């Protein structure tokens, strides 16, 4: 059995500016953010784009179980907890300091019935278990913005194996990294080319991938779902839909994965 990876020793820092609280791992690199007056909102653009998977499945009972690899400031966990009342949330975070800071300074809910945090390596967790999830969100970086074991073919294959039949995986990549193209290629290989890239204006890129039930959504339906989601949660994914439409060649107006 492979030994578990050790918790990192880097510092976990907090800064505040113009009403926004930021999380750092011992550098100026932002690992998470929360607008203090709106703690349930998604402050950073890439976190908003990671939730665009909600537009790719019919609204209502999906997702019922979500796995988040990387806690950060808890933004994604808080949004799901607040707005998807039927969804059970599991978070895997390698650094126990991050969980403490998220609870003390970023208002991460304390509710074991719906939200649990496991202190473990995300790669070990995915490779070593069997539980399946409707939505897997991967957002894990070290202080040098490296993903390490979270950016390997075996890890992406494990993500695929742990999805339900209508499951989706969303992976945050840094589009400016020189290894970005290879990362996308690994994801596509793991998911038999059933993946698409949503570029973010911030320089990140979100890769959505699935292995089960096909995603086949008309552009008009995506736009209507984005309007509905904005009314229900204030999350505006219309810019993400526009970027998808501009960046993809949508055969007969449908988005397919």
Q: Note the pLDDT tens digit of each residue in 68-122.
A: 999 999 999 999 999 999 999 999 999 999 999 999 999 999 999 999 999 999 9
Cα–Cα dist 2/154, whole Å = 14
Listed residue (225, 168, 221, 163) closest to 194, CA to CA: 168
Q: How many Cα neighbours within 13 Å face the side chain of 104?
A: 10
Cα–Cα dist 213/114, whole Å = 26
Listed residue (70, 90, 77) closest to 147, CA to CA: 70
Antiparallel, parallel or unpaired: β 88-93 and 115-119: parallel
Rg (CA), the chain: 17
Cα–Cα dist 216/122, whole Å = 30
Percent of the chain having pLDDT more than 70?
95
- Of 20-29, 120-129, 237-246, the range with the highest mean pLDDT is 120-129
Catalytic residue among 49, 124, 134, 139: 139
In the chain, domain spans: 13-211
Query: What topology is assigned to 13-211 in CATH?
Result: Rossmann fold (3.40.50)
Listed residue (149, 139, 142, 151) closest to 180, CA to CA: 151
- 139 catalytic per annotation: yes
> 1 pLDDT exceeds 50?
no
Which residues is 17 bridged to in the sheet?
20
SS3 track for the chain: CCCCCCCCCCCCEEEEECCEEEEECCCCCEEEEEECCCCCCCCCHHHHHHHHHHHCCCCCCCCCEEEEECCCCCHHHHHHHHHCCCCEEEEEECCHHHHHHHHHHCCCCCCCCCEEEEECCHHHHHHHCCCCEEEEEECCCCCCCCCHHHHCHHHHHHHHHCEEEEEEEEEEEECCCCCHHHHHHHHHHHCCCCEEEEECCCCEEEEEECCCCCCEEEHHHHHHHHHHHHHHHCCCCHHHHHHHHHHCCCHHHEEEC
Contacts of residue 165, defined as CB under 8 A and 6 or more positions apart, other chains included, come to 212, 213
> 55 pLDDT exceeds 50?
yes
In this prediction, residues 9-36 reach a mean pLDDT of 91
In this prediction, residues 133-162 reach a mean pLDDT of 93
242 or 169, higher pLDDT: 169
Listed residue (51, 114, 54) closest to 88, CA to CA: 114
């Amino acid at each position: 059995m492979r030994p578990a990876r050790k918790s990192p020793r880097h510092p976990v820092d907090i800064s505040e500016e113009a009403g926004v609280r930021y999380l750092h791992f011992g550098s100026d690199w932002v690992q998470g953010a929360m607008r203090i007056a709106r703690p349930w909102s998604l402050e950073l653009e890439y976190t908003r784009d990671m939730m665009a998977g909600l537009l790719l499945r019919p609204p209502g009972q999906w997702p019922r179980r979500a796995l988040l690899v990387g806690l950060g400031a808890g933004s994604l966990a808080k949004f799901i907890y607040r707005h998807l009342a039927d969804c059970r949330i599991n978070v895997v975070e390698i650094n126990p300091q991050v969980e403490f800071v998220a609870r003390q300074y970023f208002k991460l809910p304390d509710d074991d019935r719906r939200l649990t945090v496991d202190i473990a390596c995300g790669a070990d967790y995915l490779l070593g278990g069997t539980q399946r999830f409707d939505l897997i969100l991967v957002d894990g970086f070290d202080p040098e913005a490296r993903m390490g074991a979270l950016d390997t073919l075996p890890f992406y294959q494990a993500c695929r194996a742990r999805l339900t039949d209508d499951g989706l995986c969303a992976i945050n990549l840094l589009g400016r990294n020189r290894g970005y193209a290879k990362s996308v290629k690994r994801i596509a290989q793991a998911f038999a080319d059933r993946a698409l890239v949503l570029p973010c204006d911030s320089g990140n890129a979100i890769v959505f991938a699935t292995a089960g039930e096909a995603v086949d959504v008309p552009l008009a339906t995506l736009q209507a779902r984005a309007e509905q989601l904005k009314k229900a949660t204030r999350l505006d994914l219309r810019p993400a839909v526009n970027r998808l439409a501009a960046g993809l060649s949508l055969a007969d107006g449908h988005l397919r994965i």
